[in-house]
Chain A
Amino acid sequence: MIQIEDEILTRCQGGDKAAFRWVVQTYQRMLFSLALKMLADEEEAKDVVQDTFVRAWLAIRSYNPQQPFASWLYTIASRLCLNRMKAEKVSAMQPKDLTVLHRFASGDDTQRKLENDEWITIVRTLAEGLSEKQRLVFTLCQLEGLSSEEAEQITGMDARQIKSNLYVARQTIRKRLKDLGYDED
């Protein structure tokens, strides 16, 4: 996870917006990535990023420096994502989504970078059927590459809950991919 200097945070706590702008520029991509994979909607993801930074700004004086700042932002963003998912169901997989997944998995062009709409279709295909918590843990640990300890800190779940949610999510996605004709090994 990206870390910024304490001095920047101290300035933010003093109400310095210029310092906070730097924080926004540093972390907005990280939060956008999480929100897009969770919500599978670009505009919704941007809204969550904006809402996260507004909430972080308002609560910056109560931020505990013992917790990594990135984890703190992830915590706010993941709660906002879960709230939105509860309020509005993530759109279901569509037949055309399979074409995008096949193109990605064909391995023809491994250097090609996925576009945001391709990301949306892939996560929509993979994560369908997962519970909100399973989806969050899978996104944090599998797609964002965070450690279990970091996921514990962000989600507030204990190690056993993280392990079990991640296991179920992986098994569900493997089964889905297997059903779509992909080999395990």
Chain B
Amino acid sequence: MMKIDEILSRLQEQQPDISNPDELTDRIMDSLPDLPTEQPKPARRIRLYIASAIAAAASVLLLLTLHRNNNVDPQQVQSLVTQQIEQKDSSLKAEIKEPKIMIAQEKAVTDKARAAIQRRTATVIAHKVSTTIPATDSLDYYIDKIERELAQVDESLYIERMNKVIRADERLQRIVNSYILHTLDKEGRPQTADNMYNVKTEEDEE
């Protein structure tokens, strides 16, 4: 007769067998449903959508900023810079009491600085001109992107997405309106700005 420990250890050495393993395998395989195709997680899609909306808004702001800055006349900027350089130059000349060699050196430095500032001014102006077009293009790009995404989303999400687009559009409209008001104020024509919100109808005129 086995001892208790012997019984337990002998049980561990053995393992029950499935009477018909292939039959069980087939039974299991037949009961497996097809796995659904992997869809991007909703959270990820929402993040993508929000990122697109933010990018579009940022592009609009960039566009407006660049447009506003472009209103500054380059000739005015250049004359201001030149004026400042000349003022500095004359003040330097007044301070110099040392031999002419020093004056010549100082003048050379001033000339260099002046040339550098002129080059920089020209670069800034050129940059302003060149960045205007890509900003507009990028806005178009994001609008295209939003359209493509809307075309792909399920019907259940479409209405929600459209509501978000409408909200983003309202924000965009506010930005544009504030820009127009700002421009009009700057030009000293506040009455035109007021008219935007007080459009006279035919009934009023009567």
Contacts and interface: CB of A to CB of B under 8 A. Distances in A.
Contacts of A153: none
Question: Chain B contact residues (Cβ within 8 angstroms of A): what range?
Answer: 20 to 34
Interface string A105-124: 11100100110100100100
Contact of B2 (A36, A105, A122, A142): A105
A182 B6 CA distance: 11
A130 to B, nearest CB: 14
Contacts of A184: 3-5
Interface in B75-110: none
A69 interface: no
A106 B1 contact: yes
A139 to B, nearest CB: 10
Interface stretch (A14-22, A71-79, A83-91, A154-162): A14-22
A173 B38 CA distance: 49
B1 A183 contact: yes
Contacts of B33: 54, 57-58
Interface residues of A, number: 44
A182 B7 contact: yes
B32 interface: yes
A50 B3 contact: no
A4 interface: no
A107 B4 contact: no
A107 B7 CA distance: 9
Contact of B35 (A15, A25, A49, A178): A15
Contact of B28 (A29, A37, A49, A177): A49
Contact of A29 (B10, B21, B35, B37): B21
A105 B14 contact: no
Interface string B41-74: 0000000000000000000000000000000000
A32 B11 CA distance: 16
Nearest to A123: B11
Contact of A28 (B1, B25, B38): B25
A159 to B, nearest CB: 21
B32 A57 contact: yes
B30 to A, nearest CB: 10
B179 to A, nearest CB: 49
Contact of B18 (A15, A28, A54, A110): A28
Given A25-B21, A29-B21, A183-B1, A53 B7 contact: no
Given A57-B32, A60-B35, A145 B7 contact: no
A107 B24 contact: no
Nearest to A35: B16
A49 B18 CA distance: 11
A42 B24 CA distance: 12
Interface of A: 15, 17, 20-21, 24-25, 28-29, 32-33, 36-37, 42, 46, 49-50, 53-54, 57-58, 60-61, 104-107, 110, 113-114, 116, 119, 122, 142-145, 173-174, 177-178, 182-185
Interface of B: 1-8, 10-12, 14-19, 21, 24-25, 27-29, 31-35, 37-38
